[in-house]
C-alpha cells in the first residue's frame, strides 16, 4: 500500500512540475513577444562604433 501511495505522489509531483514549467515557458514567451512588439532600437550607432574601433586597432598594428 505504501508503494502505491508513493507512486501516486511521485506521479502527481511530476505532473505538477510539468505544469509549472509550461506556465513559466508561457510567461517568458509572452514577455518576449511583448518586448518584440515594442520594436528594437536601431543598431547603426553600435555598428559604427565597432567599425571605428576595428579601424583603430588595425592602424596600431
In a domain, 20, yes or no: yes
pLDDT of residue 55: 66
Domain coverage including residue 30: 1-38
What's the domain count of the chain?
A: 1
In a domain, 57, yes or no: no
Model-wide pTM > 0.85: no
pLDDT of residue 36: 80
Tell me the average confidence (pLDDT) per consecutive run of 10 residues in the chain, 61 residues long: 88 86 91 82 79 68 56
pLDDT of residue 25: 92
In a domain, 34, yes or no: yes
3-state percent breakdown (helix, strand, coil) of the chain, nearest 5: 90, 0, 10
- State in Å, rounded, how far the first CA of the chain is from the last one: 77
Amino acid at each position: 500500500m505504501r508503494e502505491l501511495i508513493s507512486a501516486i505522489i511521485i506521479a502527481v509531483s511530476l505532473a505538477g512540475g510539468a505544469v509549472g514549467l509550461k506556465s513559466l515557458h508561457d510567461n517568458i514567451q509572452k514577455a518576449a513577444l511583448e518586448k518584440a512588439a515594442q520594436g528594437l532600437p536601431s543598431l547603426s550607432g553600435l555598428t559604427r562604433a565597432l567599425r571605428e574601433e576595428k579601424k583603430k586597432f588595425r592602424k596600431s598594428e
